[in-house]
Amino acid sequence: MDKQMTATLPPTSDALVLFGATGDLAYKKLFPALYAMVKNGALSVPVVGVASAKWNEARVRERIGESLKAHGGIDDSKAFERLLGLFRFVGGDYADARTFAAIRAALPGARSPAHYLAIPPAMFETVISAIGASGLGDGARLIVEKPFGRDLASARELNRIALSVFPESSIFRIDHYLGKEAIMNILYFRFANSFLEPIWNRNYIHSVSITLSEGFGVEGRGAFYETAGCLRDVVQNHMFQIVALLAMEAPAYRGYGAVQDKTADVFRAMRPIDPGDLVRGQYAGYREEPGVAPDSDVETFCALRMQIDSWRWAGVPWFLRAGKSLADTVAEVVVNLKCPPQRLFEDSAGQDGCSNYLRFRIAPGAAVALAARVKKTGEEFVGEQHELYLQNERPGEASPYERLLTEAMAGNSALFIRQDAVEAAWAVVEPVLHRHSPAICYPRGSWGPQEADSLAARHGAWIKPAACDG
């Protein structure tokens, strides 16, 4: 890590309080992350699990073991025992002051704990206010799991509540996508390679398309999805964060605040989405899912066209699509470069009209690839498209939650989202949260409604994700 970034960092958190210790997020992601942190020496402070469930400490410890066996296994028994040795459990009502008195008692000597809210958003206000009233917020950090509100007004209210107890510098808003190695590599690749800068603008880039697709449905989470939908669950956070890393200007100095300044500038430059630039879809059978209303209009698919009103990106269309029960599970970015100004060879346009493009594949299997045309053997001037792979996924990479928890407890804010950026992102989607066309039914295993193709029609079709080739 750069010395300029670490010089003014606050002390590392001396305890972790995990609210929602009996929930799915803790079971699937957080316990494996804590175990990995213990293994690599990044966690040696007390961990206090808190939940409203009527469990005892022995049952929660069993749950930790079950979690690790289901998600990677236990390959270091000593690390597992160290994790259990750090763990304490407090059960109680989040609205009861006695619960927070018990948390304080479980943290003897802790001066700067980190409080992780892995709980339903409806409980955020109750828990944050109780942390403040009990004095547990003094010198502490707050780690908040998305979603950060449901719209601009609720995001502002959530920020107001959080800021009434914690300073902005002590609030860490988690979007787990920012902890992925492939996402971090977008930022690094952009600013560590000088050959990109001359072409990374409206003069050479034709369009940018981003796909985050899942080949499965809501999988029993219909009740949750009814409160969110694809636009809130994926587009406003994950996809906008990717856009910001691609579109941001170079930071003026090497520091976490500089990166956050520049990404927030991108959100402020995004043009609010027009209803005509959004296609909403719903996969066939969604209304039969448990917890889903029989007449639900909640979208399980979104495709949108957006503009960034900045000097660098004026006039360059950005196409975003995401959804469930699509043709494959894949996440990637394709930056399409403009064709040569004179078509010397008939086939030089290449795939879907783009002769060159840069592909950032996030999943499955992270990679960066550059597409170029090469002449086929023979007398005719006929070519074919090839991709040059510049980087591939490597084994042993830290999981997003391992990385984010480590960074938050150390006080490093680069991979987290600032208040102004959250509110600016909500302002972009605000016009279409309630004013939009009905969701269009699409068949499972497709790429969504055919109407989504019309968004990109004037700029070429969506490029087929690399993971789906062959």
DSSP string over 104-117: HHTSTT-SSEEEEE
pLDDT at 1: 34
Domain residue ranges in the chain:
3-145, 178-468
Handedness of CA 237, 242, 247, 250 (dihedral sign): positive
pLDDT at 9: 43
Angstrom distance (rounded) from CA 35 to CA 269: 41
Handedness of CA 400, 404, 407, 410 (dihedral sign): negative
Comparing CA positions, the residue from 404, 425, 424 lying closest to residue 237 is 425
pLDDT at 219: 87
Angle between helices 77-86 and 31-39 (to 10 degrees): 110
What are the residues whose beta carbons fall under 8 Å from the beta carbon of 415, sequence distance 6 or more? Answer: 178, 179, 184, 403, 404, 407
What are the residues whose beta carbons fall under 8 Å from the beta carbon of 466, sequence distance 6 or more? Answer: 330, 332, 359, 361, 367, 369, 387
Angstrom distance (rounded) from CA 409 to CA 151: 28
Comparing CA positions, the residue from 88, 97, 23 lying closest to residue 58 is 88
Q: Looking at 14-86, list the stretches that DSSP marks H as alpha helix, in order from N- to C-terminal side.
A: 24-25, 31-39, 57-70, 77-86
Angstrom distance (rounded) from CA 323 to CA 336: 22
- 238 has catalytic annotation: yes
Q: Tokens at residue 269, please?
A: 């430059």
pLDDT tens for 55-85 read 999 999 999 999 999 998 999 999 999 999 9
Asked whether the bond before 364 is cis by omega within 30 degrees of 0, the reply is: yes
Q: Return the half-sphere exposure (C-beta side, CA atoms, 13 A cut-off) of residue 330.
A: 22
Q: By the 8 A CB rule, do 100 and 127 touch?
A: no
Encoded amino acid at 80, one letter: F
Encoded amino acid at 212, one letter: L
Angstrom distance (rounded) from CA 248 to CA 100: 42
Give the residue ranges of the chain where pLDDT is below 70.
1-10, 255-256, 346-354, 391-396, 460-461, 466-470
CATH architecture, domain defined by 178-468: 2-Layer Sandwich (3.30)
Q: By the 8 A CB rule, do 208 and 246 touch?
A: yes
* Cα torsion through 120, 126, 131, 134, rounded to 10: -150
pLDDT at 137: 94
What are the residues whose beta carbons fall under 8 Å from the beta carbon of 159, sequence distance 6 or more? Answer: 148, 419, 422, 423
Beta bridge partners of 36: none
The label of the residue with tokens 């977008």 reads: 186
pLDDT tens for 225-270 read 998 899 998 999 999 999 999 999 998 877 667 888 899 999 999 9
- What is the assigned CATH class of domain 3-145? alpha beta
Residue of 238, 386, 434, 436 marked catalytic: 238
Is pTM beyond 0.85 here?
yes
H/E element holding 244?
Answer: helix 240-247
Comparing CA positions, the residue from 253, 248, 250, 177 lying closest to residue 416 is 177
pLDDT tens for 276-335 read 999 999 999 999 999 999 999 999 999 999 999 999 999 999 999 999 999 999 999 999
pLDDT at 8: 42
